[in-house]
Amino acid sequence: MSIYTLALESSCDETSASVLKDGRTVLSNVISSQVPIHRKFGGVVPEIASRHHIEQVIPVIDQALRDANVTLQDIDHIGVTYGPGLVGALLVGVAAAKGLSFATGIPLIPVHHMEGHIFANFLANPELEPPFLSLVVSGGHTMLVHVKGYEEFDILGQTRDDAAGEAFDKIARVMGFPYPGGPHIDALALEGNPDAIEFPKALSEPGNFEFSFSGLKSAVLNYLNSKQQKNEPINQADVAASFQKAIVDVLVEKTRDAAHTLGETRITIAGGVSANKGLQTALQKMCEKEGFTYYKPHKILSTDNAAMIGCRAYYMAQAGKFADLTLNAKPSVEIGHVSWKED
């Protein structure tokens, strides 16, 4: 007998609902994006995001159920992102999920947003099973995670300051690109020389799996300011290519070293920045050279969506990890810990 999961995601600026069958078959994945709304502010405004989630959450759930051709009576459990993310945005999804659970008696599952990103790989690659190494790169997070089992995660290292996606967006904004800036840098980098400017790579000593991108961001800003003060021409394509190379090289090298350290041959990529073509190409080449198997999610599953949350929720349900109606949003929560109760 099939198991149906309804999932909700509202951690940042996408309101999404999805229905999955048996954890890995996506029957619907409705995403209402707020990117055009936040673009004029140059980034996500939390208060505005929350208001739009409130407007969209019920229509998005209705649409997901319709698209999947199921009703709430068919749903076995409800998964919802409870953290990390913007607290006001998270609260909308959590409140909607709790309301549905209370009204219907359908069990509730609290999903960690970044675990959801990792599990997006299962939707694109039916043959994938743990253990594997996952490079998680998004606007708010950069980390290397050893996925030992469906319920066992070991963080090898994470960013000490800016996440890779955050650095992309900040440099893009300085260079005059609209939000979100990462895809603009990625496209422009194809036209530039990645070896034109040497930008710093932090924490590059062997065996260090931590990340730091604030120094790189400062170096790029200093380079641009220096050129402007001297009235010297700036080759934007070269800046984009060199900046992107500095980030990509660090991500790929640390992933390679971590895989060798662990003896893992399966590599997955997860998070919004996993859609970056420069990073995908470099990671794929490295995996081919090292004899690793490389997995990535479909593009629509790289950015925030409820299908990945539904996949994670399914495996949590198998492990009996449910929440009660005291579930609350947690803007900051570590991966691998179901800690939805108040401390």
pLDDT at 59: 97
Percent of the chain with pLDDT over 70: 98
Q: Which residues form the domain of 68?
A: 4-118+302-319
Whether residue 109 is found in the same domain as residue 189: no
Residue 271 resides in a domain: yes
User: For 245-294, what is each residue's pLDDT tens digit?
Assistant: 999 999 999 999 999 999 999 999 999 888 899 999 999 999 999 999 99
Whether residue 85 is found in the same domain as residue 157: no
Residue 182 among known ligand-binding residues: yes
* CA atoms of 313 and 111, how far apart (whole Å): 6
pLDDT band at 341 (very low <50, low <70, confident <90, very high): low
Residue 113 among known ligand-binding residues: yes
Element (H, E) at 286: helix 277-290
Residue 143 resides in a domain: yes
Whether residue 250 is found in the same domain as residue 235: yes
CA–centroid distance for 63 within its chain:
24
pLDDT at 70: 98
Query: What mean pLDDT do residues 7-32 have?
Result: 96
Whether residue 173 is found in the same domain as residue 286: yes
Residue 136 among known ligand-binding residues: yes
Whether residue 151 is found in the same domain as residue 286: yes
Q: At which residue do the structure tokens 């300051």 appear?
A: 161
Number of domains making up the chain: 2
Whether residue 145 is found in the same domain as residue 86: no
pLDDT band at 343 (very low <50, low <70, confident <90, very high): very low
Residue 276 among known ligand-binding residues: yes
CATH number of the domain at 18, please.
3.30.420.40
Residue 23 among known ligand-binding residues: no
User: For 300-321, what is each residue's pLDDT tens digit?
Assistant: 899 899 999 999 999 999 999 9
Residue 30 among known ligand-binding residues: no
Query: What mean pLDDT do residues 131-144 have?
Result: 93
Residue 138 among known ligand-binding residues: yes
Residue 117 among known ligand-binding residues: yes
Residue 291 resides in a domain: yes
Whether 19 contacts 27, CB under 8 Å:
yes
Residue 140 among known ligand-binding residues: yes
Whether residue 26 is found in the same domain as residue 175: no
Whether residue 113 is found in the same domain as residue 227: no
Whether residue 74 is found in the same domain as residue 182: no
Whether residue 71 is found in the same domain as residue 203: no
Residue 304 among known ligand-binding residues: yes
Does the pTM surpass 0.85? The reply is yes
Residue 257 resides in a domain: yes
Whether residue 81 is found in the same domain as residue 165: no
Whether residue 202 is found in the same domain as residue 102: no
CA distances from 115 to 56, 102, 171, 316 (A): 24, 25, 27, 11
| Better-scored residue on pLDDT, 34 or 213 | 213
CA distances from 212 to 175, 184, 262, 281 (A): 21, 22, 22, 22
